[in-house]
Homo-oligomer: A and B are copies of this chain.
Amino acid sequence: MSPRRVTLADVAKIAGVSSTTASLVLSGRGRELRISDDVAQRVLKAADDLQYRPNIVSVGLRTGTTRTIGFVSDTVATSRLAGDMIKGALEAARARGVMLFIGETEGDPDLERGLLQAMHDRQVDGIILAAMFTRTIKVPKTITTAPAVLLNALPRQPSPLPSVVPDEVEAGRTAARALLDAGHRDGIHLIGAGPGRRDIPPGSVAAVERLLGIREELNAAGVKIASARVCRDWQPEYGLAATRELLETARPKALICFNDRIALGAYQVLDDYGLKVPDDVSVVSFDDHPLADWMRPKLTTVALPHYDLGRTAVDVLFAEMERREEETDHQGEIHRVPMPLRVRESISRPASAGDPMEAQHVSGAGLRESRGRDGR
């Protein structure tokens, strides 16, 4: 490191006082320790003239507080959405004068252990253990060394660590309500999970909770799920296959797709069958992937609140650091972050509703398929 930094000793020398006095003034304890205003002014001026900035490493060694947080995630190379979670955490951290270490486990427990150790060796003030896709995780034993928060994850076993997760149950309700509000009362099909509570891709927290919310909301309205299909992975090709299978037996009026990529696949098959979105079939989905805005018609979807998740995690971690010495045997609180509905163009009144709607939907083109020579 060069050139040499200005130190507290430099400031003290210029101000003509001891390092102790300079430290007391600059840490705001001058008055408390009865340093005169004259001396205080001299110190403040010297520090300003020299552009003195404390060495955080030194402060950290002395105080045990480094103004850093560790952010350990299963992966950082994922969609734009997940980047928003890091962004939210970064901005909340910056607002509190704290920096973020970042590490990626790729789901490997050994890697996770190593990262946690590396962060503890650097005396992080706290740790955020994040999952880019909402899931349950095994809380590592070593994480209790410092305050910690689970982000987008729930603990598999009872744990004192607080969790911050999207409110997926309410999101399920929101998606169902969007269709109900448009007048849909039948012909509502699920693509991705359901109809039963256990008809979900293995280990998918989001599936369980979205399905729960959907079922509750439709049930409360006295509306039945016409059918549902599980997609074992929520990628476009699975949505496409499930929707094709559906269309072989039924003509849906509305689809609730369990995420936007599944909805993309559904759009493709609906077009194959000459069905128009949203005139013939309304579609609502989840996540608000950037894709949703590129599809035609643009997709109405319940957005994952990644940015707010990240921010909330930092806030909860700070609350945890402030209460650290109390109630270490309690069960960690779960903070649920709301998921807003992003209204676009993929929902209209049911085609059999009767009243012609002029403004409720805009006829548009979805993402186009080029028809090949074989007629597909």
Chain A interface residues (CB < 8 Å from chain B): 1-3, 53-58, 60-61, 64, 66-68, 71, 75-80, 82-84, 86-87, 90-91, 94, 97, 99-104, 114-115, 117-119, 121-123, 145-146, 236, 261, 264, 267-268, 270-272, 275-277, 279, 290-291, 294-297, 307, 362-374, 376
Nearest chain B CB to A184 CB, angstrom units: 18
Nearest chain B CB to A175 CB, angstrom units: 20
Once A58-B61, A123-B56, A366-B370 are accepted as A-B contacts, the answer to whether A77 and B86 lie under 8 Å apart by CB is: yes
Q: How many Å lie between the Cα of A363 and that of B372 in the bound state?
A: 4
B267 close to A370 (CB less than 8 A): yes
Assembly stoichiometry (copies): 2
Q: How many Å lie between the Cα of A79 and that of B372 in the bound state?
A: 30
B121 close to A271 (CB less than 8 A): no
B122 close to A56 (CB less than 8 A): yes
A68 close to B369 (CB less than 8 A): no
Measured CB to CB, the nearest residue on chain B to A372 is B363
Nearest chain B CB to A176 CB, angstrom units: 23
Q: Which of chain B's residues have a CB closer than 8 A to the CB of A55? A: 61, 121, 123
Besides A99-B119, A101-B102, A363-B376, 20 other A-B contacts (C-beta < 8 A): A1-B64, A1-B145, A57-B66, A58-B61, A61-B61, A66-B122, A67-B122, A76-B87, A86-B102, A99-B103, A99-B122, A100-B101, A261-B294, A268-B367, A272-B365, A272-B368, A276-B373, A366-B370, A367-B367, A369-B369
Q: How many Å lie between the Cα of A275 and that of B373 in the bound state?
A: 11
B101 close to A68 (CB less than 8 A): yes
Q: List 28 A-B contacts (CB under 8 A).
A: A1-B64, A1-B123, A54-B121, A55-B61, A55-B123, A66-B122, A67-B122, A68-B101, A68-B122, A76-B83, A77-B84, A77-B86, A79-B80, A79-B290, A86-B102, A87-B104, A90-B104, A91-B104, A97-B118, A99-B103, A261-B294, A268-B367, A270-B370, A271-B371, A279-B373, A291-B291, A296-B369, A297-B372
